[in-house]
């Protein structure tokens, strides 16, 4: 056989190899084979339990940490301050990525620590995805509290089968000494009382009723996590929560389209839109909610707009990873958490906003 000729059997083998190689390079179809999310609540706290204070993203002044420690003591809890919270790296981070990761690992592995309160967000959590794994969170289930950049760690907790609290942090608890409703509801959840939220009607709401696992957080943090093990939006039958701060409409549109292209909306059973704070209206929409609902209106799922969580003055806590029921009606909405062993406190969010405007404390 001359070197320039290939026999039929050999051609068949080569063709089979090329086909297999081509198939292996084809990306997965968005929305296919969603992840099964089944989360359990960590143990509720009791007086005397320890809570770790860590800064896994940006640095915060130590006065905020001292103030948060005092608030935890007033709740009957014992603060444990991370080793690197005073570090300042590259002008913004609370230490190197290895140092910040070490504080989180230590807080998780310390059996005496029952919850983890993050001091602030900012940026940096995405740098830690490949330094952590779900086994660490699954082996040490405990409440993790925070929002904004902490969205990445909420995704890790959810993917590890552990519920967590999207809620206020040290830097925001201190000015009101932890007496504002955003803080006291976090306290209540830690001790086993979970809110049931009654939310007033919103002009962009899409009525309907749905149940699913609550996931999400800050859109700018959530969208780049797609395809990683911290991506809780890869779950099946999800209720998606989103909030944002300081991004204009075109940036938010781009990020939301990242979720669409990733098949996230195919897995959604409902959507909760939180605060979109200081988001420039550089497109001709009345609001960010109107822009996002233009994508959501034909999906046949309920959409709750204007939930007071995110970067606004009121940041009511949400238990991520929990099964929730979302009931959106013409006259208002109800968001209910199904968490075994918990008690329920009914919270009127309109009243919460009024109290915040008047400067009243929640007690």
Q: Which of 57, 84, 157, 243 is catalytic?
A: 243
Q: Which of 84, 140, 154, 311 is catalytic?
A: 311
| Helical (H) or strand (E) element with 298 | none
Distance CA 177, CA 179 (A): 6
Place of tokens 């063709």: 15
State the chain's maximal CA–CA distance in angstroms. Answer: 92
355 is catalytic: no
Beta strands per DSSP E along the chain? 50-54, 78-81, 113-118, 143-146, 164-166, 193-200, 208-218, 238-245, 268-277, 303-304, 318-320, 323-329, 332-338, 343-348
275 is catalytic: no
Q: Which of 148, 170, 183, 342 is catalytic?
A: 148
148 is catalytic: yes
Distance CA 42, CA 37 (A): 15
Distance CA 95, CA 224 (A): 23
Rg (CA), the chain: 22
> Coil, strand, or helix at residue 148?
helix
> Coil, strand, or helix at residue 153?
helix
Residues identified as active-site: 148, 243, 311
């Amino acid at each position: 056989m001359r070197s320039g000729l290939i026999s039929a059997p050999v051609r068949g083998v080569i063709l089979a190899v090329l086909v297999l190689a081509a198939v292996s390079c084809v990306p997965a179809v968005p929305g296919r084979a969603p992840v099964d999310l089944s989360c359990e609540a960590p143990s509720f706290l009791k007086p005397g339990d320890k809570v770790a204070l860590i800064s896994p993203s940006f640095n915060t002044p130590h006065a905020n940490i001292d103030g948060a420690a005092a608030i935890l003591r007033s709740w009957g809890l014992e603060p444990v301050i991370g080793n690197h919270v005073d570090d300042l790296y590259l002008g913004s981070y609370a230490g190197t990525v290895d140092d910040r990761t070490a504080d989180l690992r230590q807080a998780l592995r310390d059996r005496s620590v029952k919850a983890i309160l993050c001091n602030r967000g900012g940026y940096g959590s995405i740098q830690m995805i490949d330094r952590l794994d779900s086994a660490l969170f699954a082996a040490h289930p405990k409440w993790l509290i925070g929002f904004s950049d902490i969205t990445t760690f909420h995704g890790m907790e959810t993917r590890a089968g552990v519920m967590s609290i999207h809620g206020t942090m040290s830097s925001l608890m201190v000015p009101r000494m932890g007496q504002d409703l955003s803080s006291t509801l976090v306290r209540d959840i830690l001790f086993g009382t979970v809110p049931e939220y009654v939310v007033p009607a919103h002009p962009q709401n899409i009525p309907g009723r749905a149940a699913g696992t609550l996931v999400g957080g800050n859109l700018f943090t959530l969208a780049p996590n797609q395809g990683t093990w911290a991506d809780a939006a890869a779950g099946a039958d999800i209720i998606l929560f989103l909030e944002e701060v300081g991004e204009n409409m075109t940036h938010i549109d781009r990020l939301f389209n990242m979720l669409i292209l990733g098949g996230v909306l195919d897995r959604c059973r409902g959507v909760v839109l939180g605060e979109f704070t200081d988001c420039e209206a550089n497109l001709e929409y009345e609001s960010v909610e109107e822009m996002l609902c233009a994508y959501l209106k034909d999906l046949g799922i309920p959409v709750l707009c204007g939930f007071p969580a995110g970067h606004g003055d009121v940041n009511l806590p949400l238990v991520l990873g929990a099964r929730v029921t979302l009931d959106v009606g013409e006259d208002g909405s109800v968001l209910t958490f199904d968490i075994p062993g918990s008690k329920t406190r009914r919270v009127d969010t309109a009243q919460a906003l009024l109290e915040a405007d008047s400067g009243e404390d929640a007690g």
